Amino acid sequence: MSLLSLSGVTRSVDLPDAPPLHILRGVDLEVSVGDHVSIVGRSGSGKSTLLNLLGLLDNPTEGEIRFDDKRISAMSGNERDRCRGRNVGFIFQQFNLLSGRTALENVMTPLLYASGQQFWRRKQLALDMLGRVGLDSRAQSMPEKLSGGEQQRVAIARALVRGPRLILADEPTGALDVETGATVMALLDEVAEASGAALITITHDVNVAALARRHYRLDQGVLAPVDVKRVLALQPGATP
């Protein structure tokens, strides 16, 4: 079942005294429930712009984006914000944890904007999610007392605590060493699969991209399928 679809999506920026800057060119992408897709691209390829569109933060210049078969362009700003808050979880390279707040308080933060049982049970839900990422014993620890891998796991718990249907991971291992990064990615994939969420990993690292089930390359605004595992086999450590 399709969860998110992009059809003929472009994104351009008007420049003074110059032709428009075309950042994305005719992007087509279909993401199903429970899917794990990776998008690999170098700096300047349009990854951040695409992330904003996938996360319902922006509208395309042309083309159509649908979430649950509903056109995003037909939603009001408030409707899109509510859809994003309910359904999309973001994980970033920089953990963006709140200083002066415990791991538990950081994970509880998204639930402050929830309603009903999610709001009233926010502490227990946050504790349960910390347990799922193996950090229930560190619930009262401040971010600066946690290792990089632990901080990223807190960020994962925070992104997943509202039960999003789509998880967007933007360079999720960029601030971690190789071994810790591999552990974090395995955990992210495991938790996403257990919850039935779709996972889109956006990265420049071909090794991280290879962990997904479907792989794409973004180059000069054009998105196309790529055989990442073949690239790894031919040129270990290379970027497609």
Tens of each residue's pLDDT in the chain, 240 residues: 789 999 999 999 888 888 889 999 999 999 999 999 999 988 888 999 999 999 999 999 999 999 999 999 999 989 999 999 889 999 988 889 999 999 999 999 999 888 888 899 999 999 999 998 999 999 999 999 999 999 999 999 999 999 999 999 999 888 888 888 888 888 888 888 888 899 999 998 888 888 899 999 999 999 999 987 776 665 555 554
What is the model's pLDDT at position 166?
95
Q: Are 223 and 50 in contact (CB under 8 A)?
A: yes
Pairing of strands 222-225, 214-219: antiparallel
Q: Are 209 and 215 in contact (CB under 8 A)?
A: yes
In this prediction the pTM is 0.89
CA distances from 80 to 31, 44, 45, 59, 111 (A): 18, 27, 26, 10, 18
Query: Taking the CB of residue 25, how many other CB atoms lie within 10 A of it?
Result: 16
Measured between its terminal Cα atoms, the distance across the chain in Å is 29
Residues 6 or more apart whose CB falls under 8 angstroms from that of 71 comprise: 64, 65
What the chain holds in terms of domains, given with CATH numbers, is 2-234 (3.40.50.300)
Q: Are 195 and 163 in contact (CB under 8 A)?
A: yes
What is the model's pLDDT at position 164?
92
